[in-house]
Amino acid sequence: MQMNPFNEKISMIGLGRLGAPIAACLAAKGFRVTGVDRDADRVAALNDGRPPVYETGLDEMIAQTNGRLNATTDTLAAVRDTDITFVLVPTPSESDGGFTLQYVLSACKEIGEALANKQAYHLIVLVSTVMPGATGGPVRDTLEKTSGRICGEDFGLCYSPEFVALGSVIHDYLNPDFILIGESDPHSGELLASIYDRVCQTNPPNSRMNFANAELAKIAVNSYVTTKITFANTLAGICQHLPGADVDRVTGALGLDSRIGRKYLTGGVGYGGPCFPRDNRALASVARSVGASAELAESVDHVNRRQVDRLANLVKQNTEPNDTVAVLGLAYKPHSDVVEQSQGLQLAESLASNGIDLIAYDPAAMQNAQRVSQNGVRFADSLRACIDTADAAVVMTPWPEFTRLTGTEFCGSGRLRVVIDPWRALDAKQLSDRVRYVAGGVGPIDDRQRLTATVCCNERKITTPTNK
């Protein structure tokens, strides 16, 4: 049952936003990888050496795989011909906040059927986010039942979710803060840890435990981060109304406290995307299911949903009723085309449904936004067209395309007069020469404070906010 992971062949079931980049990383690091997906277009793309999904650096990573990466729609053959199988299929949220196992169990059934005809030891690594109780319950049961073999003896099972953000999946996967492994038995955990040793560039610590602890830790990490983001956004809301206040000054001080730390304390727009909102709701769901308090997670979710209202008010306070407003940024974060739970799209829809003439643009997410948008949002053909059509612009996603715009470029046709910057990612001083610059999270300035505030504005270090 001993395996040398350096010689192992890996199958990756699910070639989506996470599975495709991770498969490419494993192959680039020397493993022979067979990707599996039901979507024949994704399989064909990978076999042609093309990225099946939009992700930063994926084309370069595929180019480094030197023939070690191929793809198929045939799960049974892929499992049969490999030693380790990663499962990265969707686990959509249910109405109570939990995650459905429909795709995971369907994949496990096929893995079990392949294992039934195989003698050699096999390791299965579930990476999809699941609820506590899933891996040691229905997942292990399905594998044992369909394979006729015993977990922990004939095959190993690990739960090892990733803490990666879309747009930086490859960087985050190769440079993790830590590795989380829930394991059926020590050998399975050691084998998986040895794979991470070979792939990760940061020598991360391993946190190994049973399934239930790992399942809870995954959603707890993301829920903790959403709480921190929401705390910073609450401070931004207070500062916006407090004469002389500046959220960057306040969170800058908070971040110096080693019990708090600087990351995720920007105080900009609410969190969105495919992970944070649903992991937060999942924690509340777990709490309710065991009769524990769900109030903290529920409050964070509630406050996050209100951030769009805070920014809509900021827009209304700084525009005239007949103004055309440009929303710049529809992806939930820069370097991504994903609009799930995007606050940029939600703000655009909220303003449009309140009768404001609204035009929107994003460098990568236009198609996805147009597909899901329902509420009278006009989509511009280009950044230039978007700005030139508007009287005011609000920068919701701090793409470099937006944050490097100069005052002259914003003025363009001479129509645009107001730039609203919830992230304070633009060059305030430079823009103020040509347009009225409005920073979110900064309070009104009275005469006595004007001098100090000017100094603060000049001192402000201009950085592009990140999610880390």
Ligand X SMILES: NC(=O)c1ccc[n+]([C@@H]2O[C@H](COP(=O)([O-])OP(=O)(O)OC[C@H]3O[C@@H](n4cnc5c(N)ncnc54)[C@H](O)[C@@H]3O)[C@@H](O)[C@H]2O)c1
Just list the catalytic residues: 275
Minimum distance from CB of 300 to ligand X (Å)? 18
Q: Can residue 215 be called a binding residue for ligand X (CB under 6 A)?
A: no
- State how far the Cα of 436 lies from the Cα of 418, in Å rounded to an integer: 5
Residue pair 306/248 in contact by the 8 Å Cβ criterion: no
- State how far the Cα of 34 lies from the Cα of 27, in Å rounded to an integer: 9
Part in contact with ligand X (CB under 6 A); list of ranges 4-12, 17-25, 115-123, 418-426: 17-25
Q: Can residue 335 be called a binding residue for ligand X (CB under 6 A)?
A: no
Minimum distance from CB of 287 to ligand X (Å)? 19
- The order of strands in the sheet holding 378-379 is 378-379, 357-361, 324-328, 392-395, 418-421, 436-439
Closer to ligand X by CB, 36 or 442: give it: 36
Minimum distance from CB of 323 to ligand X (Å)? 35
Minimum distance from CB of 90 to ligand X (Å)? 4
Q: Can residue 14 be called a binding residue for ligand X (CB under 6 A)?
A: yes
Q: Which helix (H) or strand (E) holds 77?
A: helix 75-80
| Residue 116 CB neighbours (<10 A) | 12
Closer to ligand X by CB, 103 or 399: give it: 103
Closer to ligand X by CB, 62 or 88: give it: 88
- State how far the Cα of 199 lies from the Cα of 178, in Å rounded to an integer: 13
Q: Can residue 375 be called a binding residue for ligand X (CB under 6 A)?
A: no
Minimum distance from CB of 37 to ligand X (Å)? 4
Residue pair 70/36 in contact by the 8 Å Cβ criterion: no
Encoding tokens for residue 211? Answer: 């399934």
Q: Can residue 91 be called a binding residue for ligand X (CB under 6 A)?
A: yes
Task: Please enumerate in sequence order all residues whose Cβ is within 8 A of that of 461, keeping only pairs 6 or more positions apart, or say none.
Answer: none
Backbone φ and ψ for 353, nearest 5 degrees, come out as -75, -15
Residue pair 188/156 in contact by the 8 Å Cβ criterion: yes
Residues between 143 and 172 with contacts to ligand X, criterion CB under 6 A: 161-162, 164, 166
Q: Can residue 128 be called a binding residue for ligand X (CB under 6 A)?
A: yes
Closer to ligand X by CB, 65 or 467: give it: 467
Part in contact with ligand X (CB under 6 A); list of ranges 62-70, 82-90, 188-196, 292-300: 82-90
Q: Which of 18, 43, 254, 359 binds ligand X (CB under 6 A)?
A: 18
37 to 40, 92, 164, 294, 422: CA distances (angstroms): 7, 17, 21, 36, 40
Task: Please enumerate in sequence order all residues whose Cβ is within 8 A of that of 294, keeping only pairs 6 or more positions apart, or say none.
Answer: 283, 284, 285, 287, 288
Part in contact with ligand X (CB under 6 A); list of ranges 14-22, 151-159, 182-190, 239-247: 14-22
Part in contact with ligand X (CB under 6 A); list of ranges 101-109, 261-269, 291-299, 301-309: 101-109
Q: Can residue 225 be called a binding residue for ligand X (CB under 6 A)?
A: no
Q: Which of 31, 54, 86, 103 binds ligand X (CB under 6 A)?
A: 103
Residues between 271 and 330 with contacts to ligand X, criterion CB under 6 A: 274-275
Closest-approach residue to ligand X (CB): 16
Cα dihedral: 37, 38, 42, 46 (round 10): 40
- State how far the Cα of 294 lies from the Cα of 272, in Å rounded to an integer: 20
Q: Which of 26, 69, 78, 88 binds ligand X (CB under 6 A)?
A: 88
Closer to ligand X by CB, 109 or 305: give it: 109
Residues between 28 and 57 with contacts to ligand X, criterion CB under 6 A: 36-39, 42
Q: Which of 107, 125, 300, 303 binds ligand X (CB under 6 A)?
A: 107
Q: Which of 89, 216, 315, 411 binds ligand X (CB under 6 A)?
A: 89
Encoding tokens for residue 360? Answer: 């929107």
Part in contact with ligand X (CB under 6 A); list of ranges 58-66, 84-92, 414-422, 427-435: 84-92
Strand intervals (E) in 337-449: 357-361, 378-379, 392-395, 418-421, 436-439
- State how far the Cα of 276 lies from the Cα of 263, in Å rounded to an integer: 15
Residues that bind ligand X (CB under 6 A): 13-19, 36-39, 42, 75, 88-91, 103, 106-107, 128-129, 161-162, 164, 166, 274-275
